[in-house]
Chains A and B, each alone.
Chain A
Amino acid sequence: MSSYSSLAEAVRRLVLKQTVREILFTVIIAVVLNGVALGLHVWRDYWEPVLLINFVLLVVVAESVGELVPIRFKPLYDRALAFGFPAIILLCWEGLVNAGVLNARWFPAPSSILEALWDLTVNYDRFNKSSLLGRPWLIPQEWNSNGMDGIKALFRESHVYATLSRVMLGFTFGSLPGILIGMAMGMNATVRNMLDMTLSALYVLPKIAIFPIMMLLFPDPFGEGPKIAVVAISAFFLVTISTMAGVQQIDPVLIQAGRNYGANRWQMFRHVILPGALPMIFSGLRLALGTGLIVIVAIEFVRAKIGVGRVILYYWEILSTAKMYAGLFVTMILGVTLTYGLQLIERLVIPWQRK
């Protein structure tokens, strides 16, 4: 037993030693290769293949290091990779701008983007009568001097609030009927036959294309109505179609079991159909939320006084690229936050999902 374990120990040491040697070897190759490439201007003239080779070497090193990490710290290491890689990219970006390789005009350094983001957050834009977050630190002061109206005015000047409320309202107004109609289509062949083809045809239509129709339909074409409506319609199709598919993929034997054990119509819906379709409904909701954000940014490009899409376009127009990137960054944060929020809800609603 003990001789066996000491043998295992010896093998482990050997493997460790070999891995360490591998890492050193790879790092040396990388340094030499890049030195030569730099010297011969290969980096300048053929930067794509060199970049690819560097990436491959990086993966090799990261993987070898992963072998050295004790099992206990493996999740931590995986997380470090997930955050470390973009961090390296950002650092390289910063370095390349400072070295003058990248033009700071079109690709401002991450640090100046961050600065621009801070600027946008704390300052009120007098010309556009807006601010990024609506200056929440002014809430107590506004409440004391102007009451509710003051707070409403703060919300109204916020780009993030405008975009977020459009997405959320559109998402809600689109998803709820989507779930209902998708359910009806899944459970009833007549409803399905009537709607399926039409929905599939409308589904492929880029939703932004119906924005003009929505502007005609609403009394205030430049108000919130048409924007929310387009988000709602995009969400509706995605949710309807995945809900229907979710109902249809339920194993028929589960429905037979429901009948055999005496479930009435309502019980069949409540205990079999709805929970059976929920995972697919949620994947529809996830798609709808992501698409909603895409659609709303596109609409804000076209016609909006306020909203993060407007921020991006406006600062492009006045060639304030750092602020434009800040707008993109905010959009990204919005997307990540919304998706994460939905994931939390999903975990609460579908506790049986295997993890």
Chain B
Amino acid sequence: MRPKIVARNVVKTYKSKDGDILAIDDFSLEVAEGEFVCIVGPSGCGKSTFLRILAGLTPLTAGTVDIARDAKAQKPLNSMVFQEYAIYPWKTVRDNVAFGLEMRGVSKHTRYVIAEDWLKRVGLLKFANYYPHQLSGGMKQRVSIARALANDPEVLLMDEPLGALDAQMRTVLQGELLNLWEIDRKTVVYITHSIDEAILLGDRVIVMTAHPGKIKMEFTIEIPRPRMIETMSTPEFALQKGIIWEALKDEVARVYGEQL
């Protein structure tokens, strides 16, 4: 079967006054239909850049990226959860969540029903009429997640979607994400800096090298589904975590070494 996402030899350089910055160097990735792929890597290695390239928001310098469109599905191709939330200060929480639907011309009534359903699932229904400046960072991030899920795309691109949440809320939403994903098994590319989260959610975990970002190693997570939060306390989980940390720690050390 043809993979859903194919990225081949992607290179990205940013132009700047002090010469070019090589953000991504020769990055190739295939994601199957319905696969949940997690990418971990040290800060500044080009994870967000790669996701933006997948979303078609940033032009690439060399290489190719292709997402196979399902003509029958009549859905938006991809929706992104931005690391910076990118929700609109001038829209209420409800209108922010309904944003993608509104852009596609879904009637007000229908899109509000859908938006409120998602707000309920991320625990923000009470805040539907609030403006973002009245929310905490974690609440804004949940609005951003709800906006992407409400848009029901073929591919979900999530850039550290739980990054701003406290540990408890994070655990709750990890569990919620697992449940949601089990329902329709969407294709997901998920960036996180938590190895735990990557193993818990992913079918595959990609470890990137420090700047410029390349694939350092790839792990297939064999832990059977459906997984739950309790899966994190199994011995096989701990084993998997040890192996991945072994691959990642040199890269993290390199980043800090360079910065010192």
Residue from the list A254, A262, A276 in contact with B76, Cβ < 8 A: A262
Q: Across the two chains, which residue of chain B brings its CB closest to A350?
A: B90
Output the residue of A256, A275, A351 with the most chain B CB within 10 A: A256
Q: For B103, what are the chain A residues with a Cβ–Cβ distance below 8 Å?
A: 258, 261-264, 267, 271
Q: Across the two chains, which residue of chain A brings its CB closest to B90?
A: A275
Q: How far is the CA of A350 from the CA of B86 in the complex (A)?
A: 19
Q: Identify the stretch in B28-36, B77-85, B173-181 within 8 Å (CB) of chain A at 4 or more residues.
A: B77-85
Could you tell me how many residues of chain A have their Cβ less than 8 Å away from some Cβ of chain B?
A: 22
Is B55 interfacial (CB-CB < 8 Å)?
Answer: yes
- Give chain A's interface secondary structure class: helix
Is A217 interfacial (CB-CB < 8 Å)?
Answer: no
Cβ of B86 and Cβ of A257 under 8 Å apart?
yes
Cβ of A262 and Cβ of B104 under 8 Å apart?
yes
Q: For B82, what are the chain A residues with a Cβ–Cβ distance below 8 Å?
A: 253, 256-257
Q: For B76, what are the chain A residues with a Cβ–Cβ distance below 8 Å?
A: 261-262
Cβ of B133 and Cβ of A261 under 8 Å apart?
no
Q: How far is the CA of A276 from the CA of B147 in the complex (A)?
A: 19
Residue from the list A253, A259, A267, A352 in contact with B89, Cβ < 8 A: A352
With A267-B103, A352-B131, A354-B133: A260-B88 Cβ-Cβ less than 8 Å = no
Q: Across the two chains, which residue of chain B brings its CB closest to A275?
A: B90
Q: For A260, what are the chain B residues with a Cβ–Cβ distance below 8 Å?
A: 55, 57, 78-80
Output the residue of B82, B86, B87 with the most chain A CB within 10 A: B86
B residues with CB within 8 A of A: 52, 55, 57, 76, 78-80, 82, 84, 86-91, 99-100, 102-104, 131-133, 147, 151
Known: A257-B80, A278-B90. 12 other contacts (CB 8 A): A259-B57, A261-B79, A261-B99, A261-B100, A262-B103, A271-B88, A271-B91, A271-B103, A352-B89, A352-B90, A352-B132, A354-B133
13 A-B residue contacts at CB 8 Å? Answer: A253-B82, A257-B80, A257-B86, A259-B57, A260-B78, A260-B79, A261-B147, A262-B103, A271-B102, A271-B103, A350-B90, A352-B89, A352-B133
